[in-house]
């Protein structure tokens, strides 16, 4: 690791920014260069999609921002708007799988971040109830994960990320394993949540259609080692819904983004 | 992406069909009847082969002696089992915290496991008081499955869940309590289920070894003693009790495992899923 490789979480500086990556690279111990150099700035309250082929390092970028891995070189800056006390946490993370504890019921899973922050039970109960209501699972608090469908599990995972009232929501292909109808519904619910809560969202996906539908900005990444290949601003009117999904604008954005993504797949066998 | 959620649980029926209960009972009854018949028709003497009826009568008439012996053996088994459970789980936790410790000690745990306990028992009886030696034998046999299963369980924590705990700055103790131990629980219970039967075997082996040294009063000692006196019906009666004790121990541990896991683990999910 070189000397300038750092990750910092601060409350000051970087006016209007939530996340900034500068010259970030990640090389695995095996010598494989996974990422970068990568420069990304995400504004506070922005919804950004990271789009790229499998193995391009987009998930790695997300893990670097979350602090689950450290960069080989470059700097990762995360701005939090409040100190991390009383059960708030700057970052919420939604994994590719629901990643729920099978031995705990839905409420227990959502409560986990608060329990780890040693929040008093009475206060935590209220926050858990609110978070479950936000994702529409209020009446499933006592169910166990095995009793839920894939989409519902993902909602629980989302509620768990929201329960600490994070400034930044990191989502790593959260809906990739779901069927199309369920994915559309969760897309819409996520957009509604984002409009209400105005969190900064960084959403990793390999679906062109999902990235264009959800985000204000699509960052297209190249094949490994992942770099920025292109960037598109999706300035469609809010709120987006089915009429946007079937509009000519939407198709146009998708065509442009697909064209930018195509080189990343060159030389790969389907 | 092949992360299918909600993989269907194997369809295992919760209620055993009547045939599965009935057939073994019929086989048992037919076997006993044939045994009794062979003994009576050929007029075989009890010191050669007693019939099932005589064995049952012996069980009743010798009940006070056999019951006392059963309690002694069960106490030994219980002590050995508790030592194995506590020791196995504690050692696995230590191994999980420290790689160095694991590398240093694990081979010896294996050696202890693969050396036949019947060969160790006489040595232990020389160096330890008899009651202690017997418990140590039960412990030696029973602790390894607990150790290896717990270690396996602690290492099979979901990596993303571990990442989540890291993200929320969980302390090592919180990670252990809220993540590793619950995740390892099905494995730990599996280990304990094996250990229950094994500690009975360890206790019996040690008692037989001790019995030949002329002391002891456990059920296995009764078997050895009855053998010297050609009291074959009592040997069978004692064997019957030992077998029953083993079945009860296994059933109890299986029940505990089921009760603990029934809310969430695939192994304990019955008809409703």
pLDDT of B92 reads 93
CB contact under 8 A, A103 and B168: no
Residues A261 and A185 in one domain: yes
pLDDT digits (tens, 9 = 90+) for A174-195: 998 889 888 898 999 999 999 8
Number of domains in chain A: 2
The architecture CATH gives domain B51-268: Orthogonal Bundle (1.10)
Question: Chains A and B: how many Cβ contacts under 8 Å?
Answer: 78
Domain containing residue A116:
103-166
SS3 B104: helix
Residues A209 and A235 grouped into a single domain: yes
Task: Look at A150 and B5 and tell me if their CB atoms are within 8 Å.
Answer: yes
Contacts of A146 in chain B (CB under 8 A): 6, 9, 264, 266, 269, 273
Q: Could you tell me if A207 and A141 lie in one domain?
A: no
Cβ atoms of B136 and B79 closer than 8 Å: no
Q: Does residue A38 lie within any of the structural domains?
A: yes
pLDDT at A107: 93
Q: Which residues of A touch B9 (CB under 8 A)?
A: 146
Are residue A177 and residue A191 in the same domain, yes or no?
A: yes
Checking if the pLDDT of B273 tops 50, the result is: no
Determine the Cα–Cα distance for residues A225 and B213; give it in Å rounded to an integer.
73
Mark whether A173 and A157 lie in a shared domain. Answer: no
Instruction: Say yes or no: A180 and A232 in one domain.
Output: yes
Does residue A183 lie in a domain region?
yes
Among B160, B168, B182, beta carbon nearest to A103: B182
Instruction: Select from A150, A166, A182 the last residue of a domain.
Output: A166
Pick the range with the lowest mean pLDDT from A85-89, A238-242, A257-261, B179-183.
Answer: A85-89
pLDDT digits (tens, 9 = 90+) for B247-267: 999 999 999 998 888 878 777
Q: What is the pLDDT of residue B272?
A: 47
- A142 to chain B: which residues are within 8 Å by CB? none
Work out the minimum CA distance from A164 to partner chain B, whole angstroms.
Answer: 10
The minimal CB distance from B166 to the residues A68, A89, A149 is found for A68
To the nearest whole Å, the CA of A85 is away from the closest chain B CA by 12
pLDDT-derived band of residue A202, with 50, 70 and 90 as boundaries? very high
* Predicted model pTM: 0.81
| Shared domain check, A171 and A151 | no
For residue B198, what are the contacts with CB-CB under 8 A and spacing of at least 6? B84, B141, B142, B145
Nearest residue in chain A measured CA to CA from B163: A68
pLDDT of residue B216: 59
Which CATH number characterizes residue A55's domain?
A: 3.40.50.300
Instruction: Give me the interface pTM, i.e. the ipTM.
Output: 0.86
Span B132-158, pLDDT tens digits? 888 999 999 999 999 999 999 998 899
In this predicted structure, the answer to whether residue B83 has a pLDDT above a threshold of 50 is: yes
Residues A117 and A72 in one domain: no
Whether residue A133 is found in the same domain as residue A246: no
* Boundary of a domain, candidates A166, A186, A213: A166
Per-residue model confidence (pLDDT) at position A8: 78
Q: Is residue A270 part of a domain?
A: no
| Chain B residues near residue A179 by CB distance under 8 angstroms | none
Asked if residue A69 belongs to a domain, the reply is yes
One domain, residues A18 and A152: no
Q: Which of A112, A134, A166 is the last residue of a domain?
A: A166
Query: What is the spatial distance between Cα A190 and Cα A168, in angstroms, rounded to a whole number?
Result: 14
Which of B2, B163, B166, B167 should we substitute to test contact with A (largest number of A Cβ atoms within 10 Å)?
B167
Residue-wise DSSP of chain A: --TT-EEEEESSSSTTEEEEEEEEEEE-TTS-EEEEEEEEEEETT-EEEEE--TTSSHHHHHHHHHTSS--SEEEEEEE-SS-S-TT--SEEEE-SS----TTS-HHHHHHHHHHHTT--HHHHHHHHHHHHHHTT-GGGTT--GGGS-HHHHHHHHHHHHHTT--SEEEEESTTTTS-HHHHHHHHHHHHHHHHHH--EEEEEES-HHHHHHH-SEEEEEPSSSB-EEEEEE--PPSSP-HHHHTSHHHHHHHHHHHHHHGGGGTT---
The closest CB to that of B158, out of A67, A89, A99, belongs to: A99
The residue of chain B nearest to residue A87, with distances taken between CA atoms, is B168
- Substitution target from B164, B179, B189 for chain A, most A beta carbons within 10 A: B164
Lowest average pLDDT, out of A127-136, A239-248, B74-83, goes to A239-248
pLDDT at A172: 92
Domain assignment present for A200: yes
Q: Are A171 and A250 found together in one domain?
A: yes
Domain chopping of chain B, boundaries: 51-268
Residues A55-82: tens digit of each pLDDT? 788 888 899 999 888 888 888 888 877 7
* A54 domain residue, yes or no: yes
Residues A27 and A139 both lie in one domain: no
Contact A200, A46 (CB under 8 A): yes
pLDDT at A13 over 70: no
Mean pLDDT of all residues in chain A? Answer: 86
B265:A103 CB<8 A:
yes
């Amino acid at each position: 690791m070189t000397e300038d490789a750092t990750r910092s979480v601060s409350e000051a500086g970087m006016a209007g920014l939530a996340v900034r990556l500068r010259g970030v690279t990640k090389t695995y111990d095996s010598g494989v260069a996974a990422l970068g150099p990568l420069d990304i700035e995400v504004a506070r309250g922005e919804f950004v999609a990271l789009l790229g082929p499998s193995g391009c390092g987009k998930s790695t970028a997300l893990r670097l921002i979350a602090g689950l891995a450290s960069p080989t070189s470059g700097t990762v800056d995360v701005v939090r708007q409040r100190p991390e006390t009383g059960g708030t946490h700057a970052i919420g993370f939604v994994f590719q799988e629901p990643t729920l504890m099978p031995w705990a019921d839905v409420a227990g899973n959502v409560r986990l971040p608060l329990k780890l922050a040693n929040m008093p039970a009475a206060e935590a109960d209220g926050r858990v109830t609110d978070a479950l209501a936000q994702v529409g699972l209020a009446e499933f608090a006592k169910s166990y994960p095995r009793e839920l469908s894939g989409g519902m599990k993902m909602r629980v995972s989302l509620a768990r990320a929201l329960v600490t009232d994070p400034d930044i929501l990191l989502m790593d292909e959260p809906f990739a394993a779901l069927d199309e109808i369920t994915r559309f519904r969760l897309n819409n619910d996520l957009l509604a949540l984002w409009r209400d809560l105005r969190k900064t969202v960084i959403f990793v996906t390999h679906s062109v259609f999902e990235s264009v539908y959800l985000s204000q900005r699509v960052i297209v990444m190249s094949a490994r080692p992942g770099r920025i290949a292109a960037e598109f601003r999706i300035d469609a009117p809010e709120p987006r819904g089915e009429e946007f999904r079937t509009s000519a604008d939407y198709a146009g954005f998708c065509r442009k983004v697909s064209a930018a993504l195509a080189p990343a797949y060159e030389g790969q066998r389907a | 992406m092949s992360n299918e959620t909600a993989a269907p649980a194997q369809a295992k029926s919760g209620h055993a069909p009547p045939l599965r209960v009935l057939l073994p009972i019929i086989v048992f009854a037919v076997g006993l009847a044939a045994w009794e018949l062979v003994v009576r028709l050929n007029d075989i003497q009890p010191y050669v082969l007693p019939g099932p009826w005589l064995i049952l009568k012996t069980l009743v008439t010798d009940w006070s002696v056999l019951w006392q012996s059963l309690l002694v053996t069960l106490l030994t088994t219980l002590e050995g089992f508790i030592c194995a459970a506590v020791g196995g789980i504690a050692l696995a936790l230590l191994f999980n915290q420290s790689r160095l410790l694991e590398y240093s000690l694990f081979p010896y745990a294996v050696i202890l496991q693969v050396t036949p306990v019947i060969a160790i028992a006489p040595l232990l009886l020389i160096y330890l008081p008899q009651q202690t030696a017997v418990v140590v034998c039960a412990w030696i046999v029973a602790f390894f499955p607990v150790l290896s299963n717990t270690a396996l369980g602690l290492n099979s924590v979901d990596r993303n869940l571990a990442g989540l705990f890291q993200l929320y700055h969980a302390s090592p103790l919180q990670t252990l309590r809220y993540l590793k131990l619950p995740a390892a629980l099905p494995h730990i219970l599996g280990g304990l289920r094996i250990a229950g039967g094994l500690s009975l075997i360890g206790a019996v082996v040690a008692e037989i070894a001790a019995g030949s040294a002329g002391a002891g009063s456990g059920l296995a000692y009764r078997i050895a003693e009855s053998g010297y006196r050609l009291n074959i019906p009592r040997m069978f009666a004692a064997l019957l009790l030992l077998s029953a004790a083993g079945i009860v121990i296994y059933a109890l541990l299986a029940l505990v495992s089921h009760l603990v896991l029934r809310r969430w683990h695939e192994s304990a999910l019955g008809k409703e899923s």
